[in-house]
Chains A and B, each alone.
Chain A
Amino acid sequence: MLELSKATLAIFVDRSSNRWIVRDTDGSFWLLPPVAEPWQHREAYQPAEDGELEPVPAHYKYLLGLPL
């Protein structure tokens, strides 16, 4: 039942900041900065209540170098 508590990895675009946003399997959100290894330099991110994140297909995780 451990699986039940896990969220699914999800990738988004925040159009206001023009950045990739990642929700990890713990449900935490991260902003990826425009650097060579963005996941290593990820920054905590809090989605705005009225902000709308645009979903990106999960296969972009390889393109973004996400180790998840």
Chain B
Amino acid sequence: MNAEQRRLWEACEQSALWRQWGPYLSERQWGTVREDYSEGGDAWNYFTHDQARSRAYRWGEDGLGGISDDRQRLCFALALWNGQDPILKERLFGLTNCESNHGEDVKEYYFYLDSTPTHSYMKYLYKYPQAAFPYAQLVETSRGRGRQEFEYELLDTGVFNDNRYFDMFVEYAKASPQDVLIQITVHNRGPDAAELHLLPTLWFRNQWSWHTEADRPQLEQVDAAAGAPVVRATEPQLGARYLYCDGDATLLFTENETNTERIFGVPNRTPYVKDSFHEYVVHGRRDAVNPAHRGTKAAAHYQFMLQPGESRAVRLRLTDVAPDAWARGNGQSPGPFGANFEEAYQARLREADEFYAELTPKSLDSDAANVFRQALAGMMWSKQFYHYDVDKWLEERGSDPFKPTRKAAPRNDHWHHMYNGDVISMPDKWEYPWYAAWDLAFHVLALTLVDPDFGKQQLKLMLRERYLHPNGQIPAYEWNFGDVNPPVHAWATIFTYRLERGLTGEGDNEWLKSVFQKLLLNFTWWVNRKDRSGRNVFEGGFLGLDNIGVFDRSAPLPTGGYLEQADGTAWMALFCQNMLEIAGVLAMTDPDYEDMALKFVEHFLWIASAMGHVGQDNGMWDEEDGFYYDVLRLPNGDSQRLKVRSMVGLLPLCAATTFEGELLRRSPEIGERLRWFLKSRPELTAAIHDPMKQGVMGRRLASILDETRLRRVLAKMLDENEFLSPYGLRSMSRYHEQHPYVIHAGGQEYRVSYLPAESDTGMFGGNSNWRGPIWMPVNALVIRALLQYYAYYGDNFQVECPTGSGRMMNLYQVAEEIGRRLTSIFLRNAGGDRPVYGGARKFQDDPHWRDCVLFYEYFHGDNGAGLGASHQTGWTGIIARIMHLFATMTQEKAREERGAYFRAGSEIPVEAPAATS
């Protein structure tokens, strides 16, 4: 067990709170739903970036490369000024949804370079221009661009020309769970000397202004230790913490309170407000900060003039060690920045290297290992303290659900049971600084590579009474908790259970049981709410795939009637399979779950057969095309398939799971009951794969597609003129580039074309596009399914891959090929370029940029360039799992050994560590 694994163990056992401090500060709190108290729910314009420096937040905090404790009482982050900017740089800037031609978009360059799962070591890079930040230019130019044009990026403004910028590396290393070492290293990359004001800032989240019961915490300057300025932070629950600042810094103090003069026009009660440091540094107002050296927000003000190529390091220490304790230590009085600082810093860095050296498959070359580590670093950095008490929020906007005089709230009216106040893995801490239920399930696939315990905790969190709706619905995301996301929670659950069992030899059955009970509620919600006709075919609306349909699937249809959705129904078939897997595991030790296992076998069969049978000629399967489509049911009883070849039609392929037959062997009665059911209802299996037919190693396969249909769908999926791109599977077939799908309704034409890059409509905010680009999560689902099919069919099932190439592959090889193509998005190609960076030459050529990897939200369907949110680790972090999978597995293992991958996985501690290191 290496040192980081030991810390993980201690964190899991709660013998040491290694996770208490972490990167839990958001990159953006302004423009969020929870800070929005506008009448109409205009979150982006109610609390703007311009207000953020002056207005105290109600529910959370944001900052640059920052950290906080896990309840976000105390926060730390950078503030910067280059002598040119109109404002102090305290947070990332980006365009709001309506300002940009492709929806909200951060306009900064920052990178999550490293993190261990306990955050014992972390590294972040921010690139700060030396010229005035072109705020207005970004807004104005973007506003003038249409949806057919590229986004206007910060590099396009020329502000990085001649490398006139600072590289700001921020590193955190924990000497102990409560002792965080901070090192900020600044490099002047430009050709001239340049000025920098660096203000490492410590502040309390403002809770005292919004409660009568909240005690006011305090920051104050105390006597220096060994010459280092010191801030003491006192908060009732947290106790005392000290920020030691090495070198020549001036301590500044103010209050984290709203500048009411600037925001509301009403005179301030105190001159010391949230934006006082901005006034002090940018406008030279010395009276803006508190001369008494106390407040709730403090900064150490460093000023440098850096020569070309020069670098400077600043060290700080946030710790529970009081100044007088340093003097007592060994009688040596080493001080907070003595040798112990460097020793601990170097030790954590070395241990981080050891941790990743053991985790990273040996077959990955240095470039791939770098991508792998940064993907996981992004997963770790994307944790955020998310706080939202919906009942309180409704009450504060006059929409108290139990008051008859209430106003209607613009959203989340029916979710007043929600109290969220937890560290949660975010999709992207700037663009999507709120949890999204189905994203989170995918996050867990990557998170469990380094921290299975955190993955388990995340899955259970969404099912707690503070999250799950009393009716059983899992909250989707804050813009509308009542939206419907695909039900992938059960899949992530059984995956995580099997992973832990494979690594430790023992699964956590108690955890699995508790999650299963709640998932039953969720399953029942789906069955009762989204199967309109009771015929086991499902709706669900957009189901996470935004603009993939010819119509907005979450809105009333222009034709009237409703959609029977191939993806909705396939998701439910997969949900059944996952619940069957869970029940089957639990039934091995508790017979009470046998009935549940049988229930989910039967339910799967009802749903799977419905996909083939319902509507007969107007069912979802199209025999002519060999593909699944949504079916439009019109009010007059007519129906038609909406023949858009998209990921919607590939998802039925994903509902495939092999079973070893352990439960049938253990409980013959279950087998008898199942055989009776199948015998008495032969029509159920007539159009799907026969679930009792044994394959390789005697396995059985639950699958919507029989072999014939599977081959037909695969032929389309693996056709490079349809779904298979050089960089993974497209979300829509390229067939529609030349053959748009067109339908007329209500006197209007609706059209879907293949669109490999950004969206050309405003549907779902316009910042995501499912009409062609490559999306990591659904590719991961396809890979999972192919491995299931391979485990059943083995080597005898071969397909041409790519279609028409004459190259035959078994389904493991096909999965591996898709994985290879996905991975190649991030790796340097033969020409030295990373496809993810497309034509951005700075990212391709500059040694200070080219190995910093961004994991975008989705990727160009033809050239792999990154699109959408730029820091979506987030679900794009799954690439680490895909790389690990194919680097540690073989065809033989996949075919011969059930759960081989889970046993071959990362080196997670399997037993308690020895008492001493």
Instruction: Give the B-binding residues of A (Cβ under 8 A).
Output: 3-4, 6-8, 10, 13, 15, 18-20, 34, 54-60, 62-63
Instruction: Give the A-binding residues of B (Cβ under 8 A).
Output: 37, 39, 58, 208-212, 257-258, 264-267, 395-398, 400, 403-407
Contact A6 B405 (CB under 8 A): yes
Contact A63 B405 (CB under 8 A): no
A4 to chain B, nearest CB (A): 5
Majority SS at the chain A contact face: mixed
Contact B58 A59 (CB under 8 A): yes
With a CB–CB cut-off of 8 A, which chain A residues contact B208?
Answer: 62
Contact A15 B58 (CB under 8 A): no
With a CB–CB cut-off of 8 A, which chain A residues contact B265?
Answer: 13, 15, 18
Contact A57 B209 (CB under 8 A): no
Contact A57 B58 (CB under 8 A): yes
Contact A55 B210 (CB under 8 A): no
Contact B405 A13 (CB under 8 A): no
Majority SS at the chain B contact face: loop
Q: A8-B400, A62-B208 are in contact. List 12 more A-B contacts (CB 8 A).
A: A3-B404, A4-B405, A10-B398, A13-B266, A15-B265, A18-B267, A34-B267, A57-B58, A57-B396, A58-B395, A62-B209, A63-B209
Q: Given A8-B398, A15-B265, A62-B209: A3 and B403 within 8 A (CB)?
A: yes
Contact A7 B209 (CB under 8 A): no
With a CB–CB cut-off of 8 A, which chain A residues contact B403?
Answer: 3, 8
With a CB–CB cut-off of 8 A, which chain B residues contact A10?
Answer: 398
B273 to chain A, nearest CB (A): 12
Q: Bound complex: CA of A58 vs CA of B210, how far in Å?
A: 9
Q: Given A8-B398, A57-B37: A62 and B212 within 8 A (CB)?
A: yes
A63 to chain B, nearest CB (A): 4
- Return the chain B residue nearest A7 by Cβ: B405
With a CB–CB cut-off of 8 A, which chain A residues contact B266?
Answer: 13, 18-20, 34
Supply 24 A–B pairs (Cβ within 8 Å), ascending by A.
A3-B403, A3-B404, A6-B405, A8-B403, A8-B405, A8-B406, A8-B407, A13-B265, A13-B266, A18-B265, A18-B266, A18-B267, A20-B266, A34-B266, A54-B264, A55-B37, A57-B58, A58-B395, A58-B398, A59-B209, A60-B209, A62-B212, A63-B210, A63-B257
Q: Bound complex: CA of A35 vs CA of B211, how far in Å?
A: 21
Q: Bound complex: CA of A2 vs CA of B127, how far in Å?
A: 60
Q: Bound complex: CA of A65 vs CA of B395, how far in Å?
A: 18
Q: Which of A4, A18, A34, A60 has the most CB of B within 10 A?
A: A60
- Return the chain B residue nearest A32 by Cβ: B266
- Return the chain B residue nearest A1 by Cβ: B404
- Return the chain A residue nearest B399 by Cβ: A8
Q: Bound complex: CA of A63 vs CA of B403, how far in Å?
A: 24
Contact A55 B267 (CB under 8 A): no
Q: Bound complex: CA of A30 vs CA of B404, how far in Å?
A: 23
With a CB–CB cut-off of 8 A, which chain A residues contact B400?
Answer: 8
With a CB–CB cut-off of 8 A, which chain B residues contact A18?
Answer: 265-267
B381 to chain A, nearest CB (A): 30
With a CB–CB cut-off of 8 A, which chain B residues contact A8?
Answer: 398, 400, 403, 405-407
- Return the chain B residue nearest A64 by Cβ: B269
Q: Given A6-B405, A8-B406: A62 and B210 within 8 A (CB)?
A: yes
With a CB–CB cut-off of 8 A, which chain B residues contact A58?
Answer: 395-398
Q: Given A3-B404, A4-B405, A8-B403: A13 and B264 within 8 A (CB)?
A: yes
Contact A55 B39 (CB under 8 A): yes
Task: Report which of B209, B211, B264, B406 forms a contact with A56, defined as CB distance below 8 A.
Answer: B264
Task: Report which of A13, A57, A62 forms a contact with B397, defined as CB distance below 8 A.
Answer: A57
Contact A59 B210 (CB under 8 A): yes
With a CB–CB cut-off of 8 A, which chain B residues contact A7?
Answer: 405
Q: Given A18-B266, A18-B267: A59 and B404 within 8 A (CB)?
A: no
Q: Bound complex: CA of A18 vs CA of B266, how far in Å?
A: 5
Task: Report which of B39, B210, B211, B404 forms a contact with A4, defined as CB distance below 8 A.
Answer: B404
With a CB–CB cut-off of 8 A, which chain B residues contact A63?
Answer: 209-210, 257-258
Contact A59 B405 (CB under 8 A): no
Q: Bound complex: CA of A15 vs CA of B58, how far in Å?
A: 23
With a CB–CB cut-off of 8 A, which chain A residues contact B257?
Answer: 63
Contact A59 B396 (CB under 8 A): yes
A28 to chain B, nearest CB (A): 15
- Return the chain B residue nearest A20 by Cβ: B266
- Return the chain B residue nearest A58 by Cβ: B396
Q: Which of A7, A8, A15, A19 has the most CB of B within 10 A?
A: A8
Q: Bound complex: CA of A30 vs CA of B101, how far in Å?
A: 45
- Return the chain B residue nearest A6 by Cβ: B405
- Return the chain B residue nearest A21 by Cβ: B266
With a CB–CB cut-off of 8 A, which chain B residues contact A62?
Answer: 208-212
Q: Bound complex: CA of A44 vs CA of B425, how far in Å?
A: 49
With a CB–CB cut-off of 8 A, which chain A residues contact B406?
Answer: 8
- Return the chain A residue nearest B395 by Cβ: A58
With a CB–CB cut-off of 8 A, which chain A residues contact B395?
Answer: 58
